[in-house]
Each structure stands twice: as C-alpha cells, then as structure tokens.
A and B are shown apart, each in its own frame.
Chain A
Amino acid sequence: MIEEKKPGFSQYNIEGKALEAFLGPLESNIMEAIWGSKKTPTTVREIHAALNKTKKIAYTTVMSTMDRLFEKDLLDRKIEKGRGGLYYVYWPKLEKRNFQKSAVRQVLASLIGNFGEAVTSCLVEETNMGEEERKALQEQLSKIKRNKK
C-alpha cells in the first residue's frame, strides 16, 4: 500500500476536468497512463508507446514531462539496468485514489484557510445539511483552523 503523501502542485484549474484541475493535460494523461499500466515501474518509452496509440506525441515531450512530474514529487524514479542499457524507471508516489483525496484536501485546506466561514456556508448550501451536521462541520473546521495556527 502506498502511503499518503502531499502531491506537488500549486494551481487549481477551475475549468479542468478530473485530474486536469490539478495538472496539465499531458501531465494528467501521463499519470493516467502510469496508473493504468499493468507493468510498474515503467519506462518513458513504454508510456510514450501507450500515449501514441491515441494521439501522436513526441518521445522527448513525454520524457521531459515525466521528468517534471518527478520534480513535482508525483513520480518517483530509479536507474535500472536492462537490455536497452541503463535507464530510468518511474512509478507513482501515490495511488490514484489517494492522490485525488490528497489533492482535494489541499485545495479545501487552502480555501478554508483563506475564506473560513464562506466555505462552511457554501458547503452547507451545496449539501443541504441539517442543524446537527452543520454544527459538527463547524467544529471540524474550527479544529482545522486551530491546528493550522
């Protein structure tokens, strides 16, 4: 089981669909390909071949994007010796579900930290909560804030 870590992204794209809200289109395609790959860890060449099935893409573009994902702490890598020589093999630092959870948590924490009360009322309005549930959420949020301070 991969333990939960903070994924490295700094922007949230409000118009992006699914992972593209947190990552660029190619980055999210690569992450999807890596999570969907039967073979882990995987090489740039294999991901390039997988992506090329749907859309033609340059090898060097995939290589540099995977390098960037490694720098963002979304991927981990090591050098492996194989028949093609010495090459990097990559694997995700988080499972897809954990990544999503962790990303949402980061966004929420940022929103609460900046807009506290507004976030609570928005959540209440959006989810039609009862009085008891609202109080519990309020307490939870206050706790998060205290911890943050």
Chain B
Amino acid sequence: MNFEDVLVQVFQPYFYYSIIALAISFVCIKIVVTCCPFMGSKAKSLIYLTPIVAPLFVMFSFPPKIVIQAVSYRLIGSFSIPVSQGPMSFSPFHLIQPPLSQTIVTLVALSTSHILSVTGIICLTGLALGGIYAVTTIVMGDWIASRLLHVINLDSNEYEWLQTEIASISKKLSISTPKVALVEDLRPNAFTMGHGRQTKLVFTIGLLNILDKEEILAVASHELAHVKNHDFFFKTLSNALAAVSFFNPLAYFALFNSQREREMLADENGAKLIQKPDSLAKALTKITKALQNLPGEGRLIRVTSNLLITSPIIHRPQILSGHPKINLRLKNINQLTMPKPKRLKPSKLIVAVMLTCIIIVAGVTTTYALVNLQSGYVTPKIALATSAYVKGVSTDSIGTHIILISSNVPFNQMFGQISSLQNQKLQIISPSNPALLNEPSNFNQNQADIPLQTSIVIPGTNQSSQIAIIYALQNENGTTLIIKY
C-alpha cells in the first residue's frame, strides 16, 4: 500500500469526520467543564458523552463502506500553449475551452478502481463491537461476571444486619432491594452487577474483614446510589459508544472522564444517604491503604470489572481509569458540607466561549485543509518548457490515446521530460510508428500545416467498465486535462 492508498483510506468521510468530530467536541467540552465549576457531577458525566456520541452521528450520516472507489492520479506531463497558435479543436470531446492566452495544459491520468476499505471495516467493526457488547452485557453480563469472579449469593441469614440495612436504604431510594453476594477475594472492594430485579451488591471478603459496620454501610450506600442513578445502563451505553471509536484514543479519555464523574456522583449521593460523609471517606482511605499492600488484580478481573461490573468502589490508580483519584474523591466528599459556587464569573464565561469558538474554527479549518489535501495533494506543479497542443483523445483496443501536436519542439525532447514523470503503464508511441496512432474520425483536419504529431497511449483502458473520460479543470495555474479510466 503506497502513500496515496493510505490517504484514500484515511480520507473516507465516515472515518476522518468521526475522528475530527470527536476531537473537537472533546476539547470544547473539556474547556466548558473546566470553566464551569458550578456544574454538577451528573451534568458533567452526561456532557462528557458528547464526544463519543458524535462519531455515531457521523457514521449514520456517512455510512461506512467495505469497498470504496480509489482514485489515483498520475502526472503525464505539462505543456504550454502559445497564443499565436490560436484556438484549436479538442474534438470529439469539446471539453476544453480554447485557450485565450498562453496556457499551461497539464495532463493527468486519473484512474479509479474498487478497493477494500480498511477504514470502513474498522468503523463497521467498531459499530459491531459496540452493539454486541451492549446486548451481551444487558442480556447476560451479570451471568458472565458471576461465573468469572465466582460470586457466591448470600442466604437471608448470612450478614443479616447488612441485608436489613440494604433493604432499608433501598426502600428509602424507592428501588427494589438488590441481592447481596460475596466474592472470596481478599482485596477489599465492592461492586454492583446486573440490572432491575437481578441487581446484586457484591462485597469481597477482604472488604468485610477490614471495615467496621458503619464503613461497610457507607460502601453499600455508595453502591446503592449507583443503582439509583441507573449506572449499569450508563456504563453499558458509554462503553458501547466508546467501542464504536475504539481506534481513537480520545474516546477512552472522554469515556473515563464521564465514568469518573459518575463515581463522584455516587460518592455524593451515598454519603448523603447515610448522612455520614466521614464513614465513606474513612472506608475509602482504609481500602486504598489495604490495596497498596496487596498485589494487583489479575488481567481477567480488570477486564471484567471494566466491562461487566458497574462501579467497583475503588480501582487502582491508572491514567485510563473509570475512577477518580482517591484524594479527589475525599475532597469531593468533604465539600458536601460546604456551599458550592452558584455563579459563574463573567470573565470565565467569556474565556470559555472564546476558546470554544477558536477550537471549532480551528477544527473546521483543519477539516477543510484536509479535504483540500485529499483532492489536491497531487495537483501537478511542473510545467514543461515545451510547446504542444492536445489535438484529440480517443480510445481503441489498445487504450486511451492522447494526440499531441507540436509546432516547434521535437517530440523526442518533449517526451524525454514527460517520460521522467509518467507512470510505467504509459507507452509513448513515437511518430516513427504512425500505424498505432488512432486519430478521431472527426478530428479537425483544417490544421493540416501542423508539422509534428504524436500520441500518448494509456494501455488497457478500453474495457467497458473503464470508459475513458476526459475533462478539464481551469484555474490560475492553467488547464489540467484529466483522463479518467
């Protein structure tokens, strides 16, 4: 795959528009969130979803394709047409306007072929991954997680006090009482699994061993807050959306930012529920300390907890973690007793609006530049210092013929320059082999005094599916004659 093919793949709208949409919206939202400290965790968690929703809209607007039309340009040559030669005919196509002054005619061969779209397959894989993940998690996520983590359901007489308290908090929250379960793991942690009536609150043995009753209850209320906030669906949806853009690292940043805000929200709600923010803070501190002295969880647990479990109470600190750092969580819990800033300072608002505008403009400009790059990266810039006319173009069993007329420059000299630019596919038929020239029947015969005539042939372009089309683009650089096959 050459550079040209890579560009063709990358510049498919479903691919690069989705990347740019995600990047612009992520940066804008980061600015807005930073400049709006009054924004609550719930609003932040929702707004952070925008960057990962954007690519989905792009893919609906520009559906990904498995096979794409690859267009490749090949520079054949360039000629300057002097004014003195006057108007000329481009029969039978009549696509080029007669040059009004000295015009540079650039010959470009434009070939199209159908190739497998790697980026289309990547995008479709993302959509499939997101869909499969969402369905699997909703239908059987809790079953898979139970099997993998060896979750043990508690009988009603086990940890009776805890089950009673959980039932009482659930009633307060108007949610159905979740089942309580255990995991043998000695690392302290707790999480929720499943949804609706299948929701389970799972505690590890390690957590029950190191926390006192009040702290265990604080952890339980944090988990119940997740249930109340429908975080199972939130996490499933956000993970599925991120899976659509699995090839874009920014999607993970947006995802984890959103999930961190969800944790903050559960901390706030949980601490309010038991009316003892201190207990939750103590529990989090104890768990963090205990985890520091224990080996990290295995890869399977990490993947399972990231994908199938809603919100383990704590995660090991890492860049791409759905959990905020412990100090931020403790700070957030402590702030519950303090009043929040209600008003946004005008200066901050102006900065936020300005930065957002700049980012959007920069993004749109970048997109525009990239689109132009796509169509113009091979625009020929080289003009040969030779004079020639394009007399006509035709196709036959050999290929596409471009008939050139030169008044004063020997062809061997001109073709010496053209040959250095052309593709291997092109054959130059010299005037010494006139039998191969295939002049269009209605070629303007009036210009009989033309001293020299030759032809360039692009072989193999006469198939029914490869109809040669000639068209011309005129711009300030001259005329570009494009032969599409």
Residues of A within 8 A of B (CB): 43-45, 48, 58-61, 63, 79, 81-88
- The minimal Cβ–Cβ distance linking B287 to chain A, given in whole angstroms, is 14
Category for how many chain B residues contact A: 20 to 34
Please measure, in the bound complex, the distance between the C-alpha atom of A44 and the C-alpha atom of B152, giving whole angstroms: 11
The answer on a CB contact under 8 Å between B152 and A48 is: yes
Supposing A81-B295, A83-B300, A86-B295 touch, asked if A59 and B186 sit within 8 A by C-beta, the answer is no
Please measure, in the bound complex, the distance between the C-alpha atom of A107 and the C-alpha atom of B204, giving whole angstroms: 41
The answer on a CB contact under 8 Å between B185 and A87 is: yes
- The minimal Cβ–Cβ distance linking A11 to chain B, given in whole angstroms, is 27
- The minimal Cβ–Cβ distance linking A17 to chain B, given in whole angstroms, is 28
- The minimal Cβ–Cβ distance linking B288 to chain A, given in whole angstroms, is 16
The answer on a CB contact under 8 Å between A59 and B158 is: yes
Instruction: State which residues 138-196 of B face A: CB under 8 Å.
Output: 148-150, 152, 154-155, 157-159, 182-187
Q: In chain B, what residue has the closest Cβ to A43?
A: B184
Please measure, in the bound complex, the distance between the C-alpha atom of A45 and the C-alpha atom of B148, giving whole angstroms: 14
Residues of B within 8 A of A60 (CB): 154, 158-159, 182
Residues of B within 8 A of A86 (CB): 185-187, 206, 294-295
- The minimal Cβ–Cβ distance linking A107 to chain B, given in whole angstroms, is 35
B5 at the interface (CB under 8 A from A): no
Residues of A within 8 A of B182 (CB): 59-60
B298 at the interface (CB under 8 A from A): yes
B205 at the interface (CB under 8 A from A): yes
- A-B interface pairs (CB < 8 A), number: 57
The answer on a CB contact under 8 Å between B158 and A58 is: yes
Partner among A58, A61, A87 whose Cβ is within 8 Å of the Cβ of B184: A87
Partner among B154, B159, B183, B295 whose Cβ is within 8 Å of the Cβ of A84: B183
The answer on a CB contact under 8 Å between B186 and A84 is: no
User: Can you sample 6 A-B contacts with CB below 8 Å?
Assistant: A58-B155, A59-B154, A84-B149, A84-B185, A85-B185, A86-B186
Q: In chain B, what residue has the closest Cβ to A81?
A: B295
Q: In chain B, what residue has the closest Cβ to A49?
A: B152
Please measure, in the bound complex, the distance between the C-alpha atom of A44 and the C-alpha atom of B183, giving whole angstroms: 11
Most chain A beta-carbon neighbours within 10 Å: one of B149, B182, B184, B204: B184
The answer on a CB contact under 8 Å between A79 and B186 is: yes
Residues of A within 8 A of B294 (CB): 86
The answer on a CB contact under 8 Å between B297 and A85 is: yes
Please measure, in the bound complex, the distance between the C-alpha atom of A86 and the C-alpha atom of B207, giving whole angstroms: 12
Q: In chain B, what residue has the closest Cβ to A84?
A: B150
The answer on a CB contact under 8 Å between A83 and B155 is: no
Instruction: State which residues 97-151 of B face A: CB under 8 Å.
Output: 148-150
Q: In chain A, what residue has the closest Cβ to B208?
A: A60
Please measure, in the bound complex, the distance between the C-alpha atom of A35 and the C-alpha atom of B182, giving whole angstroms: 26
Residues of A within 8 A of B206 (CB): 86
- The minimal Cβ–Cβ distance linking B187 to chain A, given in whole angstroms, is 5
Supposing A63-B205, A84-B150, A85-B204 touch, asked if A44 and B298 sit within 8 A by C-beta, the answer is no
The answer on a CB contact under 8 Å between A88 and B154 is: no
B421 at the interface (CB under 8 A from A): no
Q: In chain B, what residue has the closest Cβ to A83?
A: B300
Partner among B186, B297, B298 whose Cβ is within 8 Å of the Cβ of A88: B186
B358 at the interface (CB under 8 A from A): no
Supposing A59-B182, A63-B205 touch, asked if A85 and B187 sit within 8 A by C-beta, the answer is yes
Please measure, in the bound complex, the distance between the C-alpha atom of A82 and the C-alpha atom of B475, giving whole angstroms: 70
A interface footprint on B187-218 (CB within 8 Å = 1, 0 otherwise): 10000000000000000111000000000000
Q: In chain B, what residue has the closest Cβ to A57?
A: B155
Residues of A within 8 A of B184 (CB): 43-45, 84-85, 87-88
- The minimal Cβ–Cβ distance linking B210 to chain A, given in whole angstroms, is 13
Q: In chain B, what residue has the closest Cβ to A85?
A: B185
Partner among B152, B204, B298 whose Cβ is within 8 Å of the Cβ of A83: B298
- The minimal Cβ–Cβ distance linking A136 to chain B, given in whole angstroms, is 53
Please measure, in the bound complex, the distance between the C-alpha atom of A63 and the C-alpha atom of B185, giving whole angstroms: 13
Partner among B152, B155, B158, B301 whose Cβ is within 8 Å of the Cβ of A85: B301
Q: In chain B, what residue has the closest Cβ to A59?
A: B152
Q: In chain A, what residue has the closest Cβ to B206?
A: A86
Please measure, in the bound complex, the distance between the C-alpha atom of A60 and the C-alpha atom of B297, giving whole angstroms: 23
Please give 12 more A-B residue pairs, beta carbons under 8 A apart, in addition to A81-B295, A83-B301, A84-B184.
Answer: A43-B184, A44-B184, A45-B150, A45-B152, A58-B157, A59-B152, A60-B159, A83-B148, A83-B298, A84-B150, A84-B185, A84-B301
Please measure, in the bound complex, the distance between the C-alpha atom of A83 and the C-alpha atom of B186, giving whole angstroms: 12
Residues of A within 8 A of B187 (CB): 85-86
Supposing A60-B159, A63-B205 touch, asked if A85 and B183 sit within 8 A by C-beta, the answer is yes
- The minimal Cβ–Cβ distance linking B142 to chain A, given in whole angstroms, is 16
- The minimal Cβ–Cβ distance linking A60 to chain B, given in whole angstroms, is 5
Please measure, in the bound complex, the distance between the C-alpha atom of A45 and the C-alpha atom of B300, giving whole angstroms: 19
Please measure, in the bound complex, the distance between the C-alpha atom of A84 and the C-alpha atom of B150, giving whole angstroms: 6
The 10 A-B pairs at the shortest CB distance, nearest first, are namely A85-B185, A87-B184, A86-B186, A84-B150, A60-B158, A59-B152, A58-B155, A58-B158, A83-B300, A86-B187
Please measure, in the bound complex, the distance between the C-alpha atom of A138 and the C-alpha atom of B363, giving whole angstroms: 102
Residues of A within 8 A of B154 (CB): 58-60
Q: In chain B, what residue has the closest Cβ to A82?
A: B298
The answer on a CB contact under 8 Å between A81 and B152 is: no
The answer on a CB contact under 8 Å between A85 and B149 is: yes
Q: In chain A, what residue has the closest Cβ to B151?
A: A84
The answer on a CB contact under 8 Å between B300 and A87 is: no
Please measure, in the bound complex, the distance between the C-alpha atom of A83 and the C-alpha atom of B300, giving whole angstroms: 7
